[in-house]
Structure 1
Amino acid sequence: MNFYYTILWPLRWVVELILVAWHWLFSNIGMDPNSGLTWVLSIVGLVVVIRAALIPVFVRQIRNQRKMLEVAPQIKKIQDKYKGKKDQLSREAMSREMMEFYKTSGTNPLSSCIPLVIQIPIFGALFAVLNNAQDGKVGVGLLNAPLSHSFGSASLFDFAPLHDSFRSALADHVVPVMVVAAIMVALMVASQFYTQLQIMSKNISDETKNSPQFRQQRTMMYFLPFIFLFSGFAFPLGVMFYWLTTNIWTMVQQFLVIRAMPTPGSEAARLREDRLARKRDAQIAAGRLVVTTPAIEGAEPEVKRVNTQRTQPVSTKRKKKRR
């Protein structure tokens, strides 16, 4: 365990820096420094900073997912080529061909897991910081003795300590903490499931839904939330607030991406085309757009924007000056 904490030392230092910075901000705007709400909001601020820093990684993940969906038919052809061949040579040949295809197409089947993989050490660092604070230990960075004691003894609603978990509350027969922890676990699982459902139900093309990759992703959609269902009962409340806020961020971020940049051929793409068509019809009806008949037969009508800005009159003196 000491080796684990040593490996996470740099991340723990950064986590403490962000936590203390947000705690200082909320304390200086009139909130109680020792309140559980102050520390919960500091954890939310930690999520905001981390997820904002991960936006470039998320954009790269979305692009790679699009590529994976585009090349799904070619991957299926390679798999069908070796279908029914269970000998070692055939499996090795298929693996080589798949790796070569991934290399030439510039895709990576594991890149969709990168944001989650990056967050796991941060998650572990927060867990270590909270455990140290619970034991009254000073942090590795800016979490000094008074702040460590404040964080370790902070309670939400004055009856749910942030260092408590469902498992510890069950051992001590503390029913209020069990109720709060159970609600948090349910919200974590529901938000995680809905985040996956957003992609699987609306942002997948009809062709991809018939591919093996889609069936694997759909299986993961039902499997991943159950991991949090069982492991969440061992998480302290402070860590669960971090994970729930992360899920909410991901859910809103994906909603905006799916709405603005849907996968071609998906239900979300069709809904976006309908929205754009309704918007264009409304602008035509309002006179802001004009549809002109094409001179060439068979060509599509051209839509031009009408300049509704009022032209300011120019005096004679200003005209002469310009000349």
Structure 2
Amino acid sequence: MGRIYWGYSGSMSDSGRRRKFTPLEAIFSLVAALCAVLLVGMLASHMGEQRGRENAAAAYRREGVGKSIPLVCARGTPVEIADCVHKEVVALVDQSHDQQDLNVQEQLALFSLMALILSAVTTGATIWALLYVRGTLEATREAVEDTGRATSAVLEANAIARASLEGAKRTAETQLRAWMGSESTITGLMIGDDGKPWGVGFRTHWKNVGQTPALNAGGSMRLLRVPPDFDTEGPELLDPVDRNDHLSFAAPGQGIGTGPATMTIAELRDLAEGRTRFILRVWVFYNDFFSDTRHVSEVTAELFPAQLRLWELEEGKVPQIEMRMVSKYNRST
């Protein structure tokens, strides 16, 4: 048996939900209506029959009074006849009153029964109405929940879209922004006023390998002298310092230099003989076009003498010094 659809048929949220009535609810509604019709019909029929019986009884009593009084009160003196007629009339009136009281009681009983039936029907109709309201509220609640879920899905989709857009934007900025990288570190002789070399110097060249210019670029170089047992992976190395002097503009493919950092001949001798170690720290700070973030690139290397012949310095030759990167302190942001 199929379902019967009544009432509002418009869509609610995205489900197009309509209020559905089961066959049991439909049958109950029809039975309640038929009971009300039958109740009214029975009441009208009974009242018509009762009125007819009362009229017939009244006519019969009038006719009986007319026939019985002459027969009962035919003999006696005029006073006795008058008294007899009076008694018969009073008796007939009392009988009529008793019949009327009985009829009233029967009508009251009938009305009480009808009221009971009507109360039962009303109670059933009230229960049905409450079920209908509950079903409507449930449908409304489900529609609100569907709407809430749809809204949450839309908000989640928007959040995903925004995150994707932000991700794409960051990716594009990362690909297009300026990137400063260490291109080379050169070693040269340091010549005194007397024309003789007194040590060596180091200078690092930074190059913009990005797609857009580097702004406010400035770098520094430090040569750190540490004991032989120093841990290069520890936290004791000098942190980069952002110096705001000598800021430069570096277009894509162009660069800036940092340095020099110098070592004397005595320090070179200590390095060659293992009495000390030297660590070269180089960094550059800069901005890009896409944010106010201050980026930094840094390179850290430990110096080792490959073929250090100090007498070659007097001949104007640059000694060979090996640089080994310290991975912990090499980064770009």
**With structure 1 as the length reference, what TM-score do the two structures score?**
0.21
Asked which structure has the greater CA Rg, the reply is: 2
**Structure with the larger strand share:** 2
**Structure with the larger helix share:** 1
**With structure 2 as the length reference, what TM-score do the two structures score?**
0.20
